[in-house]
Amino acid sequence: MKLNLGCGQNRLDGYVNADREPVVEPDVVMDLEEFPWPFEDHSVDEVVANHVLEHVGARAEVFIGIMQELYRVCRGGAHIRIAVPHPRHDNFIDDPTHVRAITPMTLQLFSRRNCLEWKRLGAANSPLALYAGVDFELRDVQVVVDPSYESRPDLKELVAHSNNVATEYRYVLEVIK
Protein backbone atom coordinates (compact mmCIF):
# COMPACT_ATOMS: atom_id res chain seq x y z
CA MET A 1 0.00 0.00 0.00
CA LYS A 2 1.08 3.58 -0.69
CA LEU A 3 -0.31 6.50 1.33
CA ASN A 4 -0.84 10.13 0.36
CA LEU A 5 -1.30 11.79 3.75
CA GLY A 6 -3.12 15.10 3.93
CA CYS A 7 -3.93 14.80 0.24
CA GLY A 8 -6.24 17.82 0.03
CA GLN A 9 -7.06 18.44 -3.62
CA ASN A 10 -3.90 16.58 -4.74
CA ARG A 11 -5.06 12.99 -5.04
CA LEU A 12 -2.47 10.55 -6.39
CA ASP A 13 -3.35 7.54 -8.54
CA GLY A 14 -2.25 4.25 -6.98
CA TYR A 15 -2.22 5.73 -3.46
CA VAL A 16 -4.65 5.63 -0.59
CA ASN A 17 -5.46 9.33 -0.36
CA ALA A 18 -6.12 10.36 3.25
CA ASP A 19 -7.31 13.70 4.63
CA ARG A 20 -9.32 14.92 7.59
CA GLU A 21 -11.57 17.04 5.38
CA PRO A 22 -14.34 14.95 3.80
CA VAL A 23 -15.08 17.77 1.35
CA VAL A 24 -11.94 16.81 -0.65
CA GLU A 25 -13.34 13.26 -0.97
CA PRO A 26 -10.32 11.30 0.24
CA ASP A 27 -10.27 7.51 0.18
CA VAL A 28 -9.87 7.60 3.97
CA VAL A 29 -11.11 10.38 6.25
CA MET A 30 -8.70 10.62 9.17
CA ASP A 31 -7.00 13.13 11.42
CA LEU A 32 -3.23 12.57 11.55
CA GLU A 33 -3.26 13.76 15.17
CA GLU A 34 -5.65 11.01 16.32
CA PHE A 35 -4.12 7.63 17.08
CA PRO A 36 -4.05 4.85 16.10
CA TRP A 37 -4.34 5.45 12.38
CA PRO A 38 -6.66 3.07 10.50
CA PHE A 39 -3.89 1.06 8.86
CA GLU A 40 -2.34 -2.28 9.80
CA ASP A 41 1.16 -2.60 11.20
CA HIS A 42 3.89 -2.90 8.53
CA SER A 43 1.36 -2.46 5.69
CA VAL A 44 2.74 0.60 3.89
CA ASP A 45 5.53 0.67 1.29
CA GLU A 46 5.58 4.41 0.58
CA VAL A 47 4.20 7.60 2.08
CA VAL A 48 3.81 11.02 0.51
CA ALA A 49 3.34 13.95 2.90
CA ASN A 50 3.25 16.98 0.63
CA HIS A 51 2.90 20.19 2.64
CA VAL A 52 1.15 18.51 5.55
CA LEU A 53 3.64 17.98 8.40
CA GLU A 54 4.01 21.70 9.07
CA HIS A 55 0.28 21.76 9.88
CA VAL A 56 0.31 19.04 12.56
CA GLY A 57 1.85 18.34 15.93
CA ALA A 58 1.95 21.77 17.56
CA ARG A 59 2.47 19.90 20.83
CA ALA A 60 5.67 17.84 20.86
CA GLU A 61 3.95 14.66 22.10
CA VAL A 62 1.51 14.80 19.17
CA PHE A 63 4.30 15.26 16.61
CA ILE A 64 6.22 12.37 18.18
CA GLY A 65 3.00 10.33 18.04
CA ILE A 66 2.74 11.03 14.30
CA MET A 67 6.30 9.79 13.82
CA GLN A 68 5.46 6.68 15.87
CA GLU A 69 2.40 6.00 13.71
CA LEU A 70 4.45 6.41 10.53
CA TYR A 71 6.92 3.90 11.93
CA ARG A 72 4.19 1.47 12.99
CA VAL A 73 2.34 1.38 9.66
CA CYS A 74 5.41 1.32 7.39
CA ARG A 75 7.40 -1.74 6.39
CA GLY A 76 11.14 -1.78 6.82
CA GLY A 77 12.71 -0.03 3.84
CA ALA A 78 9.61 2.07 3.14
CA HIS A 79 10.27 5.58 1.91
CA ILE A 80 8.49 8.64 3.24
CA ARG A 81 8.60 11.57 0.82
CA ILE A 82 8.09 14.88 2.58
CA ALA A 83 7.79 18.41 1.20
CA VAL A 84 7.47 21.37 3.58
CA PRO A 85 7.92 25.12 3.26
CA HIS A 86 11.30 26.42 4.33
CA PRO A 87 10.93 27.95 7.81
CA ARG A 88 12.67 31.17 6.74
CA HIS A 89 10.28 31.83 3.88
CA ASP A 90 7.15 33.97 4.04
CA ASN A 91 5.20 30.95 2.75
CA PHE A 92 5.87 29.32 6.13
CA ILE A 93 5.66 32.40 8.31
CA ASP A 94 2.47 33.91 6.86
CA ASP A 95 0.18 30.87 7.19
CA PRO A 96 -1.40 30.75 10.66
CA THR A 97 -2.07 27.01 10.23
CA HIS A 98 1.68 26.28 10.11
CA VAL A 99 2.53 25.09 13.61
CA ARG A 100 5.90 23.35 13.24
CA ALA A 101 9.06 23.86 11.19
CA ILE A 102 10.42 20.62 9.75
CA THR A 103 14.18 20.96 9.30
CA PRO A 104 16.80 18.34 8.48
CA MET A 105 17.76 18.18 12.17
CA THR A 106 14.12 17.65 13.16
CA LEU A 107 14.11 14.47 11.10
CA GLN A 108 17.63 13.39 12.11
CA LEU A 109 16.49 13.29 15.75
CA PHE A 110 14.40 10.24 14.79
CA SER A 111 17.45 8.21 13.69
CA ARG A 112 18.50 5.57 16.20
CA ARG A 113 22.03 5.59 14.77
CA ASN A 114 22.32 9.37 15.24
CA CYS A 115 20.90 9.24 18.76
CA LEU A 116 23.32 6.53 19.86
CA GLU A 117 26.26 8.49 18.43
CA TRP A 118 25.14 11.70 20.14
CA LYS A 119 24.75 9.79 23.39
CA ARG A 120 28.27 8.39 23.01
CA LEU A 121 29.60 11.91 22.42
CA GLY A 122 27.64 13.39 25.33
CA ALA A 123 25.83 15.76 22.95
CA ALA A 124 22.75 17.64 24.07
CA ASN A 125 20.57 16.50 21.13
CA SER A 126 17.20 15.05 22.17
CA PRO A 127 17.40 11.28 21.52
CA LEU A 128 13.86 11.16 20.11
CA ALA A 129 14.37 7.89 18.23
CA LEU A 130 15.27 6.15 21.49
CA TYR A 131 12.43 7.76 23.47
CA ALA A 132 9.84 7.08 20.78
CA GLY A 133 11.00 3.60 19.73
CA VAL A 134 11.36 4.56 16.05
CA ASP A 135 14.18 4.52 13.53
CA PHE A 136 14.29 6.62 10.36
CA GLU A 137 17.28 7.53 8.22
CA LEU A 138 17.26 10.77 6.28
CA ARG A 139 18.33 9.60 2.81
CA ASP A 140 17.87 12.77 0.77
CA VAL A 141 17.52 16.50 1.42
CA GLN A 142 16.77 18.97 -1.33
CA VAL A 143 16.50 22.70 -0.82
CA VAL A 144 14.34 24.43 -3.40
CA VAL A 145 15.40 28.03 -3.90
CA ASP A 146 13.65 31.00 -5.42
CA PRO A 147 14.74 31.14 -9.09
CA SER A 148 16.07 34.68 -8.71
CA TYR A 149 18.81 33.34 -6.39
CA GLU A 150 19.79 30.15 -8.25
CA SER A 151 22.93 31.54 -9.92
CA ARG A 152 24.28 33.42 -6.90
CA PRO A 153 27.81 32.29 -5.93
CA ASP A 154 26.93 32.87 -2.25
CA LEU A 155 23.74 30.78 -2.45
CA LYS A 156 24.65 28.39 0.39
CA GLU A 157 25.33 31.28 2.77
CA LEU A 158 22.16 33.08 1.67
CA VAL A 159 20.04 29.97 2.29
CA ALA A 160 21.58 29.57 5.75
CA HIS A 161 21.13 33.16 6.86
CA SER A 162 18.54 35.01 4.78
CA ASN A 163 14.77 34.98 4.53
CA ASN A 164 12.88 34.20 1.32
CA VAL A 165 15.80 32.56 -0.51
CA ALA A 166 14.88 28.91 0.07
CA THR A 167 11.21 28.19 -0.58
CA GLU A 168 10.92 24.52 0.33
CA TYR A 169 12.61 21.46 1.78
CA ARG A 170 12.09 18.05 0.18
CA TYR A 171 13.12 14.97 2.14
CA VAL A 172 13.21 11.22 1.75
CA LEU A 173 13.14 9.24 5.00
CA GLU A 174 13.76 5.50 5.03
CA VAL A 175 12.11 3.35 7.67
CA ILE A 176 14.66 1.13 9.42
CA LYS A 177 13.31 -2.09 10.96
The CATH number of the domain where 58 resides is what? Answer: 3.40.50.150
Q: How many domains does the chain have?
A: 1
Beta bridge pairs of residue 16: 3
Mean pLDDT, to the nearest integer, of 62-82? 98
Confidence (pLDDT) at 3: 98
Query: 3-state SS string over the chain?
Result: CEEEECCCCCCCCCCEEEECCHHHCCCEECCCCCCCCCCCCCCEEEEEEECCHHHCCCCHHHHHHHHHHHHHHEEEEEEEEEEEECCCCHHHHCCCCCCCCCCHHHHHCCCHHHHHHHHHHCCCCCCHHHHHCCCEEEEEEEEEECHHHCCCCCHHHHHHHCCCCEEEEEEEEEECC
pLDDT of residue 101: 97
pLDDT of residue 29: 97
With a pLDDT cut of 70, the percent of the chain lying above it is 100
pLDDT tens track for 111-123: 999 999 999 999 9
Q: Going by C-beta distance under 8 Å and a sequence separation of 6 or more, which residues neighbour residue 127? A: 109, 115, 116, 118, 119
pLDDT for 44-53, tens place per residue?
Answer: 999 999 999 9
Provide the domain limits for residue 66.
2-175
